[in-house]
Structure formats: structure tokens, C-alpha cells
Chains A and B, each alone.
Chain A
Amino acid sequence: MDRISISTIIMVLVLIFLIGPFVVIFISSFGTQEFLSFPPQGFTLGWFKKVISMDMFKESMKLSVIIAILASIFASVLGIPSAYALSRYDFMGKRIVETFLTLPVIVPGMVAGLTLLRIFVMMNLFSIKTTLLIGHTIIVLPYSIRITRTALENLPTDIEEAAISLGASKLKAFFLTVLPNIKTGIIASFILMFIISFNNVPISLFLTGPGVNMLPIVMMSYMEYYYDPSIAALSTLLILLTFGIVILSQKLLGITRYM
């Protein structure tokens, strides 16, 4: 009994450590001073209004969302068929394919970012935007494959054969019986990919240019010059957004299962 309560106490402290800073920043973002402080003095929604109306944030937010959605779509298009092949068949070179397709999780983002910049942008092969999209697709692709594969492996394989015996072609069997049953996994993978792309710094860090600035990078460069609570307000908004997405997807899909 004793030992259990000690571990529970540690767990609570760990939770406070993990979540506490979010509470602190949340409160700080309502302060009236010109610099970030805790506890804040006064109460204002001014920083939120300021941040929402600033073009640099609006523009970069838009770009970040677009890239995240496009990258997740591309990764799903590439990832779902591969996940299917990997979960259902053994074939020559499977190990190599698997290794290559998990590589983007292993390779540090900074290394990937530098490489993409040097090879594609500096050699004028692609525009910065295109390279951003390629880079983000690369880093989220493994998640599409992994989550879809888990969903497929939890699905009995004989339902496809049942569909085929009833007259469906292989492709039809996939769309009529497999896809509807891995829908949850695919949505979960999409949400996770969106979040990962939207939050990515290392790739976006190297791939900036005139008119091409991803949100986290804009936030970082703003912080270099200003120390006011507007970033706190923006952070609060982003944290609340993440809370919302995570809680909602946990309720609907049980997303921690897929992590």
C-alpha cells in the first residue's frame, strides 16, 4: 500500500511538471505588462486581439495549415498502399523497404532540413515551397504507414476473401470491406500527421524565404525582438487548440493507442 502511494505521488508531481508550464503561460497571457511575467498584473484580452490581427502570424498560420494538410494527404496516398502491402504480404526486399520507410523518424530533423536546403533549394531544383511540402511529406509518411498498418493487422484477413468469394474484385474488396474498417486508424493517422507537420521546426527552419515562413519559425524570430505577452497569447491559443484536438480525438478514436 505504501509503495503504491509513493508512486502515485511521483506521478502527480510528474503531471504537474508536464502540464504546469501550460497553466502558467495561460495565465500570463492575460497580463497587462509589456513583458512576460508571472503572476501577471491586471487583466486584458489585448494580446490575443493583437496576435490575431497581425498579418505575419495570419499568413504563416495559413501556410502552416496548408502544408500540413497537403503533406498529410500525400503521405496517406503513398502510405496506405504500402501499409497494405507490408501488412499482408512477404516479398523480396521487405526489410529494406521497411527500414527506408522508418528512416525519416530516425534521422534528426535538423539533418533532414539542412540536406533538403542544400540539395534541392540551393541547387535550384525546387522552389522553397515545393521543398517544404516534400520535406513535410517525408517526415509524416512513416506515421501514415505505421498507424494504417496497425489498423490493418488488427483486421481479420479473411473478410477480404469472403468479399472476393461473393464476387468482388480485389480492389473492390479493399474499398468495400477493408477501408471502412480501418477508417478510424486512417483518421487517427491524419490527425497525428497534421499535428506533427504543423509543429515541425527543424525542416521549416532551413526552408524559409520571401513570403515563405512557417508559423513556429515566425514565432521564434518574433521572440528575438519582442518579449511581450503576445507570443504568450499565441502560445495559449496553440496549446488550447492542441488540447482540443487531442481530447477530441482521444474521445472519438482513442488516439493514444496509436502512439
Chain B
Amino acid sequence: MSGRWKIYILIIPAFVFILTFFVIPLSITVGRSFYDKDEGITAVNYLDFFRERVSRNAFIRSLKIGGIVTLISIVLSYPTAMAINGMKSGKKTIVMTLIVLPLMTNPVARTFAWLAVIGREGMINNLLVAMGMRRVKILYTEPAVLLGLLQLFMPLMILSLVSSFENLNEDYILAARSLGASRLQTFFKVQLPLTSEGLVIGGMLVFAGSISAYVTPALLGGSRILMLSTLLYQRASVLLDWNMATAIAVIMLMLTILINILLRYVGNLGRSK
């Protein structure tokens, strides 16, 4: 077709933009992480990463916290999405609006709000004092980071589940019930399998988000509870240790790419059904 080249005119500006300013620089970053001035091509940066206790801990902590946040998100989001699915359209819109708010709020403002809840003079501690108990230290602990990440990423899980509930034909459930399945059997044999794609996709989004978030661990975890992202910033900006910073960046990149390959795989599985 003579107009074929016109399609490329539409697509090339964005493509070239992303290529030059994003894909190529990223490739350079990845390439550089395997290079050392003295040793040439080497994996020494990665060996250092896993040799050092601080960075190894940050790696493990990121995975651990990401995992816990994902699990709690699943447990809380599933019934929430079910409840939302059962609502009338007007009410549903209001609840959905409230749910996306944390995603849309300035992250510093959102995280700072937690300081008023869990800080030394925050709501929880003042409540404890009022009840005659001692203050507890929540801020700058792992649970603090967990709370912050949960508030930020649970909405992704809920959105993903709500949309898979919306795609679930109510008749399947009625059909299962009419065929003699109990409520519990219907749930495990029909509803759960049919929403599992949303669950997996939501879960991966939450996990990927949690292991790469910066503001939450920076403000609620501080310099003691380091995660990959906060460690990266510390190495780059404070210590100017570019080799380590780049290695951390590549590790984060690989982790998220891995998750996205899995995501795509799950997406394809869903489509082929």
C-alpha cells in the first residue's frame, strides 16, 4: 500500500524519543555495570554487592517486604473487591475514587501523613499514653515501611481484582450453584479460578512496585531499614560510589523485567483460554 510509510511517520517520533533517551542510556548503564577501569569486563560490582552485608541485607529485605506486602494485599483486597463488585454503580464509583486516591496523592504528602499516625507524638503513641501504656517505636522499623507500602500498592491489587470481577459473568456462579455446588465449592471451583488472572497480575504489580519504591522506605524506614532503592540513592548521592549504585540499579531492573516476563506469560495464558 502506498500509504504504508505514513504509519511509520506516526510512530517514529515517539519510538526514536524512547530509543535515544531511554533504551540506549539504559543499555549503556547495564553495559557499564560489567566494566571496571582497572579490570575491564568483570562481574566484580555484583560480587561486591552480594559480598557486602549491607547490600545483601537490603536485597533480602526488599524481597521479603515485597512478598509480605503482596500477601497482605491479596488477603485484604479479595474480599474488598468482592464487596465493591456487589455495589450499585453510584456507590461503587465513590468507593473506587477513594481507593485510587493514595495512588494519585503526592508521595511525600502521603508518606508524611503516616508520621502523624505512627510517629513518636503520633496518633497511636498518644493513644497508648492516654491508656496508661508506654510508647512503642514504630517509625523507622520494617512494619512502618510495610504499612506505607501497603497503603500505596493495595489499590493496584483492588483495581486489578475489581476489573476481573467485572469480567466474571454472574451466571457462572448461578450455574455452579444450580448444579449443586455449595457456596464454598462455588468459590473455590468457579470464582477463584476465574479471577486468578487478576490476582496474579495484581500481585506482580504490587510486588514490583514494593521492591522499587523509594519515598516510603526513605521516610518511614530511614537509613537503618535500607531497601534496594534507598541503598542505591545512598551509594550514589552520599558516597558517590557509582559502581555499586549502578549494580544495584541493574539488579532492580532485572528483577522487574523478570516479573514483567512472568506477567506477560500469565496474560498470554489468560488469553489462550
Contacts and interface: CB of A to CB of B under 8 A. Distances in A.
A89 B11 CA distance: 11
A184 interface: no
B256 A103 contact: no
Contacts, number: 260
Interface residues of B, number: 84
A70 interface: no
A28 interface: yes
Nearest to A100: B18
A91 interface: yes
Given A81-B14, A114-B232, A15 B79 contact: no
Interface stretch (A42-50, A153-161, A193-201): A193-201
A110 B15 contact: no
A85 B112 contact: no
B141 interface: no
B194 interface: no
B109 to A, nearest CB: 4
B214 A81 contact: no
Contacts of B41: none
A206 B15 CA distance: 25
Contacts of A100: 15, 18-19, 23
Interface string A241-259: 0110111001000101001
Contacts of B98: 15, 18-19
B154 interface: yes
Interface of B: 3-4, 7-11, 13-15, 17-19, 21-23, 25-26, 28-29, 76-77, 79-80, 82-84, 86, 93, 95-110, 112-117, 119, 121-123, 126, 150-151, 154-155, 158-159, 183, 208, 212, 214-215, 218-219, 229, 232-233, 236-237, 242, 245-246, 249-250, 252-253, 256-257, 260
| The 7 residue pairs across chains A and B that have the minimum distance between CB atoms | A108-B212, A235-B109, A37-B121, A7-B79, A21-B113, A25-B113, A11-B83
